[in-house]
């Protein structure tokens, strides 16, 4: 990769795209009806600011975990793991993105969004990456709070506060994260074992992890009904939620009953479809009904 591509790769573009997508959903749901031009302007600037800070957190993660990444087939290609970018270059790049994104959010959006976004940066880059991930197999559960923040950031950007609806969106992503990542960890268990990270399949075994995935999909199913229960959404979202969550539970049940690496891969891939589809359904429901 050329130098530009190396720095861009540090931001984990696919992950950041999903983060910004979830933040935009929070922005859209926070505004009754169609947004005004001013709200669209704020939403655009907020999306850019959130992207910059999220990219900064991803780059810092690459720096801290460069030795771990080098041992894992899935991440060995990263510029930090290959030694193509120095620690100093990565640190300055991360700090610059975080500073620019935070400044943009403070000046053009509102201080609450800036502080929440910065707290998310600290939660992911420091508390999760440096502290939790190497110490406990519950790293994904506790650290999932940072990954669940995007819709809260979006909601705060357009309203200046954090409503109960935003907290429900937070809860959905928070409960979605463990089965999503543990499905990946199941078929990448040897990579994680070599890396020394205490992921659940390494510390507690395959069967225990599969049971946890099934249990989390059941709890997630219940939490995904909350937008309909509180009147945040209507029947269109409810129908989509029943389908997507029902399928996720089926995947979890099959994985629990009869494991295969291929089924774990399909479960992981479906989890991405599940979250995207669920939030797309919320968006359609908001405008069509």
Decide: 68 and 195 in contact? Cβ < 8 Å. Answer: yes
State what percent of residues in the chain have pLDDT above 70: 100
What per-residue confidence (pLDDT) applies to 172? Answer: 96
Closest CA to 203 of 215, 185, 181, 216: 185
Non-local (6+) Cβ contacts of 14 within 8 A are: none
- What is the crossing angle of helices 150-159 and 111-122, to 10°? 170
Mean pLDDT (the chain) is 91
Instruction: Judge whether residue 23 has pLDDT over 90.
Output: yes
143-191 pLDDT, tens per residue? 788 889 999 999 999 999 998 999 999 999 999 999 999 999 999 988 8
Cβ proximity of 216 and 138 under 8 Å: no
Q: Is 204 exposed, middle or buried (0-12, 13-18, 19+ CB in 10 A)?
A: middle
Using only C-alpha atoms, what is the Rg of the chain?
A: 19
* pLDDT-wise least confident of 47-56, 134-143, 238-247: 134-143
Q: What does pTM read for this prediction?
A: 0.89
In sequence order, which residues have a C-beta less than 8 Å from that of residue 86 and are 6 or more positions away?
none
33 or 1: which leads in pLDDT:
33
- Give the domains, in start order, of the chain with CATH numbers: 1-162 (1.10.357.140), 163-289 (1.20.120)
Residue 41 has pLDDT above 90, yes or no: yes
Total Cβ atoms within 10 A of residue 165: 21
User: Distance between CA 18 and CA 40 in Å, rounded?
Assistant: 19
pLDDT at 197 over 70: yes
Within a 13 Å sphere around the CA of 100, how many CA atoms are in the beta-carbon half? Answer: 15
Q: Which two tokens stand for residue 51?
A: 């992207």
CB 286 within 8 A of CB 237: no
pLDDT (tens digit per residue) in 277-287? 999 999 999 98
**Does position 208 have pLDDT exceeding 70, yes or no?**
yes
Q: How confident is the model at residue 1 (pLDDT cuts 50, 70, 90)?
A: low
Query: Which of 113-122, 187-196, 243-252 shows the lowest per-residue confidence on average (mean pLDDT)?
Result: 187-196
Tokens of 241: 């939620």
- Label residue 101 by pLDDT band (50, 70, 90): very high
Residue 15, pLDDT above cutoff 90: no
123-140 pLDDT tens trace: 888 888 777 777 788 888
- Please, how many CA atoms are within 13 Å of residue 127, restricted to the half-sphere of its CB? 16
Report pLDDT digits (tens) over 77-96. 888 888 888 889 999 999 99
């Amino acid at each position: 990769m050329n130098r530009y591509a190396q720095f861009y790769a540090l931001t984990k573009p696919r992950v950041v795209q999903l983060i910004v997508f979830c933040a935009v959903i929070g922005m859209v749901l926070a505004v009754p009806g169609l947004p005004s031009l001013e709200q669209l302007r704020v939403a655009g600037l907020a999306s850019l600011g959130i992207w910059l800070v999220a990219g900064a957190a991803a780059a810092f993660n690459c720096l801290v975990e460069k030795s771990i990444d080098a041992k894992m087939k899935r991440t060995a290609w990263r510029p930090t793991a290959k030694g193509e970018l120095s620690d100093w270059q990565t640190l300055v790049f991360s700090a610059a993105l975080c500073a620019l994104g935070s400044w943009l959010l403070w000046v053009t959006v509102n201080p609450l969004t800036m502080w929440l976004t910065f707290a998310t940066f600290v939660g992911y880059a420091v508390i999760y990456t440096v502290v939790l991930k190497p110490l406990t197999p519950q790293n994904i559960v506790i650290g999932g709070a940072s990954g669940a923040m995007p819709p809260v950031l979006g909601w705060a950007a357009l309203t200046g506060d954090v409503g109960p609806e935003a907290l429900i969106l937070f809860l959905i992503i928070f409960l979605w994260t463990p089965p999503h990542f543990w499905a990946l960890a199941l078929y990448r268990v040897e990579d994680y074992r070599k890396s020394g990270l205490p992921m659940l399949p390494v510390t507690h075994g395959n069967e225990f992890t599969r049971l946890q995935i099934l249990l989390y999909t059941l709890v997630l199913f219940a939490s995904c009904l909350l937008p309909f229960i509180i009147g945040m959404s209507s029947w269109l979202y409810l129908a989509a939620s029943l389908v997507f969550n029902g399928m996720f539970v089926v995947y979890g049940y099959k994985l629990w009953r009869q494991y295969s690496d291929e089924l774990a891969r399909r479960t992981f891939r479906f989890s991405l479809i599940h979250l995207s589809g669920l939030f797309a359904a919320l968006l359609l429901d908001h405008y069509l009904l």
